[in-house]
Amino acid sequence: MAADPKKARAEVRRVQAGFERAQDRRDKAAVVRREGFERARQAGLSIREIAREAGLHHSRVAEILEGK
């Protein structure tokens, strides 16, 4: 069966658009998570306490709070 370049181009556009939508959702979720961690810090929780609640290593929580 011969490949159809028109369909292939349309598929590339479709999958790229889906990837970009997923990346946008991921970026927004990361912001929401960082803001939640910041609120927890302001409420008096330590980085280790936040890490324990989130199921993450404390060094990762510190990175997230630093915006990394």
pLDDT surpassing 60 at residue 1: no
What tokens does 42 get? 């302001």
Q: What is the DSSP letter of 56?
A: S
Average pLDDT along the chain:
96
Token couple for 53? 């609640």
Share of the chain above pLDDT 90, in %: 93
- Give yes or no for residue 50 having a pLDDT over 80: yes
- d(C-alpha 10, C-alpha 58), whole Å: 44
In terms of phi and psi (left: phi > 0; alpha: psi -120 to 50; beta: otherwise), the region of 56 is beta
Does the pTM surpass 0.75? The reply is: yes
Among the residues of 43-57, which ranges form H helices? 47-54
